């Protein structure tokens, strides 16, 4: 992946390694320093050292090195398998688990666990993402479908493209949402002011989120969100856009929030057509204990 960004006046005189690690999600400063040593980062088309102090207008370009197949090892990681047959499996991912290896996350991922659990997985998305048809964020819990062979993978990917896969999320948002039902139809792209975030932008891709209010509390709202599209951080960015960011989401919402290990977002329902049998399948998974505990506390104080 190759990206570039111009330095704004507010960031002038910052060290290149600190500035870039702040702009990249889930990438440590040490990892950026390694990229700089290996010449994966340039400023104005010139290689610099980690202590280089960026200036307003500098063009910083970087490329994320490809994940090496040798780095992806089978790991005996406990997985909650909701369904499995010879073609697909559905897993309930916990909060804190990264879906596939990436810069800074070469072990402990869902893929590492899947490689240990399964003899074969589809190879359409390459060696670093075997079987992965779609993903959810590290700090979002819930259901994911995984393909065991390429035919199944293509069929499931086509369903996502055709919007026939149903995905419902349970969430807790800041503030009291007035409408019982609503649709957020707003394009999402990279936030031009903060590259670690996504935002509603005119240059973004079409994104549609439907929501239904389940319960209102004094300062929060419990709701169900249904995805019509699947953009990166879609629900998180859309909820921030309507000024009701998710509780626990420090990237898109306030620092003062509910005591949660991540954003209050759980992929609770997943429905798709089986790629071989043609049977319509639907799976549900209850929100994790910490999520339910917070809901109970909100009910008791309302």
Question: For this structure, is 137 an active site residue?
Answer: yes
Residue position matching structure tokens 């704004």: 8
User: Which stretch of DSSP H or E encloses residue 272?
Assistant: strand 265-273
CA-CA-CA-CA torsion sign (122, 127, 129, 133): negative
**Whether 222 contacts 295, CB under 8 Å:** yes
Query: Which residues lie closer than 8 Å to 150 by C-beta, 6 or more apart?
Result: 122, 123, 124
CA–CA dist 185, 162 (Å, integer):
17
**Whether 170 contacts 266, CB under 8 Å:** yes
Residue position matching structure tokens 């990438």: 27
Of 137, 139, 191, 249, the active-site residue reads 137
Active-site positions read: 137
């Amino acid at each position: 992946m190759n990206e570039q960004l111009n330095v704004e006046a507010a960031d002038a005189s910052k060290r290149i390694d600190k500035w870039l690690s702040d702009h990249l999600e889930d990438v440590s400063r040490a990892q950026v320093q390694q990229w700089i040593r290996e010449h994966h980062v340039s400023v104005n088309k010139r290689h610099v050292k980690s202590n280089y102090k960026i200036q307003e207008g500098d063009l910083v370009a970087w490329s994320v090195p490809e994940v090496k197949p040798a780095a992806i090892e089978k790991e005996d990681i406990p997985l909650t398998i909701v369904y499995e047959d010879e073609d697909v499996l559905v897993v309930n991912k916990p909060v804190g688990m990264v879906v596939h290896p990436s810069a800074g996350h070469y072990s402990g991922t869902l893929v590492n666990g899947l490689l240990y659990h399964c003899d074969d997985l589809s190879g359409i998305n390459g060696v670093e993402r075997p079987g992965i048809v779609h993903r959810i964020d590290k700090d979002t819990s819930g259901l994911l479908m995984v393909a065991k062979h390429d035919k199944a993978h293509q069929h499931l990917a086509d369903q996502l493209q055709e919007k026939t896969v149903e995905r419902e999320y349970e969430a807790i948002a800041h503030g009291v949402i007035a409408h019982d039902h609503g649709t957020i139809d707003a394009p999402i792209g990279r936030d031009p002011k903060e590259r670690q975030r996504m935002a509603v932008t005119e240059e973004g891709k079409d994104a549609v989120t439907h929501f239904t209010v389940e319960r209102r509390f004094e300062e929060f709202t419990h709701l169900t969100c249904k995805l019509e599209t699947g953009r990166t951080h879609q629900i998180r960015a859309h909820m921030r856009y309507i000024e009701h960011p998710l509780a626990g989401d420090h990237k898109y919402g306030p620092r003062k929030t509910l005591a949660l290990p991540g954003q209050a977002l759980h992929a609770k329902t997943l429905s798709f057509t089986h790629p071989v049998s043609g049977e319509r399948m639907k799976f549900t998974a209850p929100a994790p204990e910490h999520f339910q505990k917070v809901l109970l506390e909100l009910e008791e104080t309302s």
